[in-house]
């Protein structure tokens, strides 16, 4: 590990030298790539520098203790030595996590799909609640939300919704949200006060660049129709909505949030590209995922990952056994504690695999 860290330090220093080279500065693409690499290496370099300082403190304290005769100085050195020894293993663990292979999609924007599942109108109402949860979370992070399509049921519920969350690291924070989310509560339409169980599915897909997934437009069928629901001027008065059918896979995507056919067509293609990318990733990693299924789970949409029990005021993530009794805050987008727990579990699993 330490040989690798020393190599990273050398690479970081080389990049710093190259970034002041006029020939590199004039090559904008190369300059941007080096700046990105430098930014990615900075946390590792900083942590390794602190680690080496801590080791040096231990060595210096041990050496000075043998030479020092003043009792007060000796006590100060012992405290310094104790603090450094306590910090060293924590720093080493942090370095191991920083050296874990990075998910190439982590820094990307995400496309989120929420669909009402079992439970009828109550499932649609919960889908609307979850849409609000993720939009509130995005607001807390300073991210931008862009709705792509929505089908509501007229009583405040949503049958399905697709939206994009734009923000640095959005995928790294939200990628473990894919799966079945179950709700247990008394529906507003229930006169007998009985608790119902309903479910929705959430899919989180990274935004994919055009060059990453090629789409043959001959494989795509486009239908236009008049948008429904709330909209601005022209949205409900022209045939601006677009339904895209990808003939080879049967994927159907509808987009109606924009005012023009071209804008909705572009959004539909963006969603299709993300779906095709996801399908290819699942195909490539299917066997591997089965062999090394972690605590966090596969992210499969059929997997029940979380239960929201309103009667008891609790939310339980079944993958890591985490239960929090603050359902109101969570439904308002305060989900960092859950996300941090999932990321920590994933990192622990990867560290165990590296040890094997």
Across the chain, which distance is largest between two alpha carbons, in Å?
89
Q: How far apart are CA 38 and CA 171, in angstroms?
A: 21
Report which of 194, 193, 186, 205 is spatially closest to residue 125, judged by C-alpha positions: 186
The CATH code of domain 2-98 reads 1.20.58
The pLDDT of residue 300 is 47
Q: Beta 196-206 vs 220-225: how paired, if at all?
A: unpaired
Produce one character per residue of 118-130: b if its CB has 16 or more CB atoms within 10 Å, e if not.
Answer: ebebbbbbbbbbb
Report which of 175, 172, 148 is spatially closest to residue 269, judged by C-alpha positions: 148
The pLDDT of residue 191 is 62
The pLDDT of residue 172 is 92
pTM above 0.75, yes or no: no
What topology does CATH give the domain 110-351?
Alpha-Beta Plaits (3.30.70)
Q: How far apart are CA 215 and CA 212, in angstroms?
A: 10
Report which of 309, 331, 316 is spatially closest to residue 186, judged by C-alpha positions: 309
The pLDDT of residue 231 is 45
For the chain, the structural domain boundaries read 2-98, 110-351
Chain position carrying tokens 């179950």 = 182
- Provide the β-strand partners of residue 306: 181, 317
HSE at residue 176, side-chain half, CA atoms within 13 A, is 25
Per-residue pLDDT of the chain (356 residues; tens, 9 = 90+): 778 888 889 998 999 999 988 998 898 889 988 988 888 889 889 999 999 999 999 998 888 888 878 888 888 889 999 999 999 999 988 888 888 878 888 888 999 999 998 888 899 999 999 999 999 999 999 999 988 888 888 788 899 999 999 998 899 999 999 999 999 998 776 666 788 889 999 999 888 875 567 788 888 898 888 776 544 444 445 677 888 899 888 888 888 877 788 888 888 888 888 888 888 777 766 644 444 444 344 444 456 899 999 999 999 999 999 999 999 999 999 999 999 999 999 888 888 776 65
Collect all residues with Cβ–Cβ distance below 8 Å to 198 and sequence separation of at least 6: 116, 117, 118, 119, 120, 122, 123, 126, 182, 183
In terms of C-beta density within 10 A (0-12 exposed, 13-18 middle, 19 or more buried), how is residue 57 classed?
middle
Q: How far apart are CA 155 and CA 33, in angstroms?
A: 49
The pLDDT of residue 195 is 84
């Amino acid at each position: 590990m330490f040989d690798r860290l020393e190599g990273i330090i050398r690479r970081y220093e080389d990049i710093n030298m190259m970034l002041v080279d006029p020939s590199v500065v004039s090559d904008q693409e190369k300059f941007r790539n080096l700046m990105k690499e430098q930014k990615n290496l900075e946390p590792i370099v900083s942590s390794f520098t602190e680690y080496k300082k801590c080791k040096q403190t231990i060595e210096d304290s041990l050496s000075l203790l043998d030479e020092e005769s003043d009792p007060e100085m000796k006590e100060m050195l012992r405290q310094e030595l104790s603090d450094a020894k306590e910090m060293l293993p924590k720093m080493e663990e942090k370095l191991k996590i920083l050296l874990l292979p990075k998910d190439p999609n982590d820094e990307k924007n995400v496309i989120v799909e929420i669909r009402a599942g079992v439970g009828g109108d109550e499932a649609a109402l919960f889908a609307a609640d979850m849409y609000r949860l993720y939009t509130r979370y995005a607001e807390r992070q300073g991210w931008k939300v862009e709705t792509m399509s929505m089908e509501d049921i007229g009583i405040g519920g949503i049958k399905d919704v697709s939206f994009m969350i734009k923000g640095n690291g959005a995928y790294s924070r939200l990628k473990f949200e894919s799966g079945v989310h179950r709700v247990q509560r008394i529906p507003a339409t229930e006169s007998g006060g009985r608790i119902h169980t309903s479910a929705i599915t959430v899919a989180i897909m990274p935004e994919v660049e055009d060059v990453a997934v090629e789409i043959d437009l001959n494989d795509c069928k486009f239908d236009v129709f008049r948008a429904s629901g709330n909209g601005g001027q022209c949205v409900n008065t022209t045939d601006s909505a677009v339904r895209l059918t990808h003939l080879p896979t049967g994927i159907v995507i509808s987009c109606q949030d924009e005012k023009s056919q071209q804008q909705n067509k572009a959004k539909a293609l963006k969603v299709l590209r993300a779906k095709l990318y996801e399908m290819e990733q699942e195909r490539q990693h299917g066997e591997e995922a089965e062999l090394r299924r972690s605590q966090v789970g596969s992210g499969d949409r059929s997997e029940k990952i979380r239960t929201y029990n309103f009667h008891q005021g609790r939310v339980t993530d079944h993958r890591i056994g985490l239960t929090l009794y603050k359902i109101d805050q969570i439904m308002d987008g305060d989900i960092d504690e859950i996300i941090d727990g999932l990321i920590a579990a994933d990192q622990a699993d990867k560290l165990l695999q590296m040890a094997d």
